[in-house]
Amino acid sequence: MILDVKDLAFEFLNKVVFKNAFMTINDFGIYGLVAPNGYGKTTLLNLLTGLYHPQKGTIRLLDRPATRQLIFEKVAYLQDNSVLYPYLTGQQHLDFLTAVHRLDRQAVATIAGQLQTADFLNQRVSKYSLGMKQRLLLVMALVVKPTILLLDEPLNGLDPTSLQLVREALLDLAQRDVTVLISSHNLDELMKVTQHYFFITGHQIHEEVLGPHDSAEARYNALFTPIV
């Protein structure tokens, strides 16, 4: 069992986000997390990483309770770029991670090179475009060699070249026994890496595996487009 959520209940600002929700991932691979804004995608990722705590229910990762130590050792979470420090360079962010996680510097440099960040790593983050920030965040997530990788809107602001680099990196991870859960509105790009989805509807988490001729966009519209 890679991820197991049972009977999850969570409210935020007196609004019900999840009510007796369940979610299970048994196999390594890439999974999409899809819902409109405000339905709880980021909240779920924050719950899985211990930033929020369930008001009811349990969360287990890799057949163990989701403790801080387990999350630190096995999980990487790419949040939005507000977690970056604008007055630091990209390289300084990577140096900090290298020290905290006791990483091999050459291995970190290799991953940074794969995502073609060398041209801007020595610039302050305040000078970065949105796409540059997204690529730095992905490098930061990958260098810790996670078993579970959680990505919150990682495709925002990426040009076609960057999208291809990210896609190749994700597909490579899936071949190396890493589980990737991607929250994204870019359904066309998601379809290029997975047919396996979790949709958040009615305060529940519904799992669906789409067929080779199915469309994630069509399924999204069926679930979330109001009937006029």
Question: From CA 123, how far away is CA 222, in angstroms rounded?
Answer: 44
Main-chain phi, psi angles of 20, to 5 degrees: 50, 50
pLDDT of residue 226: 62
Report the mean per-residue pLDDT for the chain: 93
The predicted pLDDT at position 212 comes to 86
Checking if the pLDDT of 228 tops 60, the result is: no
Average pLDDT over residues 55-68: 96
- Predicted local distance difference test score (pLDDT) of residue 211: 92
* Across 95-105, average pLDDT: 94
> Where exactly are the structural domains of the chain?
3-82+146-224
Using CA atoms, how far residue 75 sits from 120, 129, 219, in Å, is 26, 27, 29
Q: List, in order, residues 6 or more apart from 180 with CB less than 8 Å away.
A: 29, 30, 31, 149, 151, 170, 173, 174
Class of domain 3-82+146-224: alpha beta
Q: What is the dihedral of CA 108, 74, 137, 26, to 10 degrees?
A: 120
- Is residue 38 predicted with pLDDT exceeding 60? yes
Report, as an integer, the average pLDDT of 207-219.
93
